[in-house]
Amino acid sequence: MREFKKLTPYKEALRLMLESLAEIGEVEEVPLDGALGRVLAEDIVSPIDSPPFDRAAVDGYALRAEDTFQAREYNPVEIKVIDEIVAGEKSGAKVEPGTAVKLTTGAKIPEGANAVLMQEMAERERDIIRVLRPVAPGQNVAFAGEDVKKGEVVLRKGQILRPQDLALLKSIGLKTVRVKRKPLVGIIVTGDELIEEFDEGALKAGKILDSNSVMLKGLVRQYFGEPRFYGVIPDDEERIGEAIRKAREECDLVLITGGSAFGDKDFAHRFVSLLFHGTTIKPGRPIGYGEKTFVMSGYPAAVFTQFHLYVKHALAKLVGARDYEVKVRARLTERVPSQLGRYEFIKVRYENGEARPIRKKGSGIISSLVESNGYIGIPEDSEGYLEGELVEVVLY
């Protein structure tokens, strides 16, 4: 098999790929219930103050703070209760000197009151409370606009919508939100040795169950896309070419596994005008890219690496996503050597501030992916990291 004459450095290949892509312009308006994980297509400006009125932060009594300044446990101040309300109600009474309104958490502060006395700080007998401690103006009050002010930009374009983001949008009165259309991602799996369904006889005869397709479908969905599977194609040049042409016509991005090297049956790369073919990453060196098409390895661990180092960045570029990687600092539990000239993708298990390298090797070892929850990247000019060294872990 012919070797690569030149390997493109990882960061250079990443730059070439990203520069070839443009952000998708189409947007969709979706209900909040269906917006989790979608990418915001525009800044969101709040149309209201939230909360929309001053409200009680505790159960207690709305009153004038100055009426309590002299209150002590040994010398309580007596105040008359003139009304009682719960959250969702509005008192018709005005708090005058020496009066109070009993209310629950979330209830609107009545006119004239400027503080809420916690009910534990008072002794009540009929309509009279004896205040045991003073309160300050504004104490135990959640003021209008304390959470969000009218006209404030609450979420920025490119935000990946989380449950808490949806809660915020609902709290300011939104029912729908405009998000980027999901990129359609074609997935083509190639290889004579692959079968799609379990067949004990076929496995004993040398066949392998395809696992790349289900993994890539999940990764595409995890990173903003919608997968379209074009099937497992045997190593037949004409059929592979036909599948690639169809996928490129119908999709925003195409992922092909198998056929990325130079073997006699490596056909996939022949149908794409490649910007690069062969990079310094390990595992997954034979990856090629061009015309919105990735020609990837056949081994699952290599495919997983190629997806995280290249494909997810392509998908983020297409939808304009921000902050789509979660990175943490951790101390290595052991030394990790590396070969100069290779950008190594080292799978790790991150826990309690430490990163433990997964020692299972091999581009086909899926269990190594399962045991890990993140990776560290070792640049081409490094010979690795020492035990106890602080490193950056990208979680997945």
Q: Is the pLDDT of residue 2 over 60?
A: no
Arithmetic mean of pLDDT, 58-87: 97
Q: Is the pLDDT of residue 261 over 70?
A: yes
CATH class of 326-395: mainly beta
- Written as six digits, the tokens of 146 are 């304390």
Q: pLDDT digits over 136-150, tens only?
A: 999 999 999 999 999
> How far apart are the C-alpha atoms of 98 and 83, rounded to whole Å?
13
In sequence order, which residues have a C-beta less than 8 Å from that of residue 236 and are 6 or more positions away? Answer: 267
Q: Which CATH superfamily is 10-25+182-319 part of?
A: MoaB/Mog-like domain (3.40.980.10)
CATH of domain 55-142: 2.170.190.11
122 CB neighbour count, 10 Å cutoff:
25
- Written as six digits, the tokens of 189 are 């799996």
Arithmetic mean of pLDDT, 297-322: 97
Beta carbons of 18 and 314 less than 8 angstroms apart = yes
In sequence order, which residues have a C-beta less than 8 Å from that of residue 104 and are 6 or more positions away? Answer: 56, 59, 85, 86, 87
Rg (CA), the chain: 31
CATH class of 27-48+154-180: alpha beta
* Phi and psi torsions of 300, nearest 5°: -55, -45
Domain locations along the chain: 10-25+182-319, 27-48+154-180, 55-142, 326-395
Q: pLDDT digits over 348-368, tens only?
A: 999 999 999 999 888 889 999
DSSP, residue by residue, 193-205: TEESS--HHHHHT
Q: Is the pLDDT of residue 339 over 60?
A: yes
> How far apart are the C-alpha atoms of 196 and 194, rounded to whole Å?
7
> How far apart are the C-alpha atoms of 363 and 304, rounded to whole Å?
9
Please give the pLDDT value at position 266: 77
